Amino acid sequence: MSRSRILRFLDEVGASSGPSVSLCLPPGLSVQEAEKEIGTRIRVIEKDVLPALAEAVARSRTGAVIFWGESHRVLVIPPFPIVSEVLADGYCVAPLRSILERDLLIALILVRLGDYAIGVFRGEERVSSKVGTGLVHGRHRQGGSSSQRFARHREKQMEYFFERVCGHVREHLEPHVRGLDHVIYGGEEFTLRTFRQQCKFLKYFDERTLNLRLNVRRPRQSSLEEAISEVWSSELIEWAEA
């Protein structure tokens, strides 16, 4: 659910009346821990629903918010981490709203071999970006000495490509070293791991890097726009009353 849609949904939830409980849980809970926390805090939740709620909380990288009452029985997985547990009577939407309404400064780094896209966003508005390509040959499938020469040549191409991309990353992120809230990567896992090892500048942001890898097939300007919308999206799971 997009940022604008989930905010409208929170307006609806916040205006609802009737007995209800709200619970914010931070990430890092196991299924057993989540089940214990939910069962202890929200005693009206049916036993057959509790395992599914706990599993959803445990798999979330950002924690979860539960609204449980007569009007709404939902779990929301927010786009950014919940810092601490909050328990409140009624439909208390303020903690989740505060996460969604902050115009965080976010850097997106999308890299696949031969293509890259770098963007800095304030909320969902682009502050700066750079998109480009570079020559990296595909893998050589034949054996022998020619294959070894090709592999060495390809490694040099990759090294040069990553060096160029790292320079562009530095150009766009360095002005925001102190102000960046989150850095998020997208692309193929092995490529990103190799790139991050080579680009030492990125170590400045290790503690602000979200545990999220965007699935981007071909980094382009349009990929940045699609990615930032995905980054700000929340997952909503609703239970119908039996």
Spatial distance between the Cα atoms of 47 and 54, rounded to a whole number of angstroms: 11
Provide the 10 A C-beta neighbour count for residue 183. 20
224 alpha-carbon distance from chain centroid: 14
Strands 125-133 and 64-69: unpaired
Q: What is the pLDDT of residue 137?
A: 56
Identify which has the larger pLDDT, 148 or 82: 82
Mean pLDDT of the chain: 92
Beta bridge partners of 126: 121
Using alpha carbons, list the distances in angstroms from residue 240 to 68, 69, 72.
11, 11, 9
Q: What percent of the chain has pLDDT over 70?
A: 91
List the beta strands (DSSP E) in 53-114: 64-69, 73-77, 86-89, 105-112
* Strand-pair category, 73-77 with 182-187: unpaired
pLDDT at 105 over 70: yes
Q: Which helix (H) or strand (E) holds 158?
A: helix 145-173
Kindly state the average pLDDT of the residues 114-132: 96
State the pLDDT at residue 144.
47
225 in Cβ contact with 125 (< 8 Å): no
Q: What domains sit in the chain, N to C, each tagged with a CATH number? A: 3-102 (3.30.960.10), 105-231 (3.30.420.60)
d(CA 60, CA 34): 11
H or E stretch covering 122: strand 115-122
Q: Which residues contact 234 (CB under 8 A, 6 or more apart)?
A: 1, 3, 6, 76, 77, 78, 79, 100
- pLDDT for residue 157: 85
pLDDT at 147 over 50: yes
Query: Widest CA span of the chain, in angstroms?
Result: 76
Reference 112, options 150, 165, 155; nearest CA is 165
* Minimum mean pLDDT range among 59-68, 73-82, 130-139, 225-234: 130-139
pLDDT at 186: 97
- Distance CA(151)–CA(144), nearest Å, equals 11
- Confirm whether pTM is higher than 0.75: yes
Of 41-50, 94-103, 104-113, 162-171, the least confident:
41-50
